[in-house]
């Protein structure tokens, strides 16, 4: 249903961005986009590790309750 952009599509997007924003503004936009993606990745990793920790604690509680019976 969805296809990847591919190299020709990426070149087209970068060319359009260069025309719209200009060569001076484009590196700033790229840096901001990179920082945003890095922050999103870190947040996703934190959320995943929190969920993993909660799952582990719940599993330990269930195991402890089963051993009580």
34-62 pLDDT, tens digit each = 999 999 999 999 999 988 999 998 888 88
Q: Which residues of 25-42 are buried (b: 16+ CB within 10 A; e: fewer)?
A: eeeeeeeeeeeeeeeeee
Average pLDDT over residues 27-33: 91
pLDDT at 41: 95
Which residues 6+ apart lie within 8 Å of 5 measured at CB? 13
Average pLDDT over residues 4-13: 87
CA torsion sign, 29 to 32 to 38 to 40? negative
Domains of the chain by residue range: 23-68
Whether the pLDDT of residue 1 is over 50: the answer is no
Token reading at 14:
């970068």
């Amino acid at each position: 249903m969805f296809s990847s952009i591919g190299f020709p599509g990426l070149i087209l997007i970068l060319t359009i961005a260069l025309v719209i924003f200009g060569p001076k503004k484009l590196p700033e936009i790229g840096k901001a986009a990179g920082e945003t993606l890095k922050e999103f990745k870190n947040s996703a990793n934190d959320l995943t590790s929190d969920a993993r920790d909660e799952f582990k604690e719940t599993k330990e509680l269930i195991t402890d309750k089963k051993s009580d019976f």
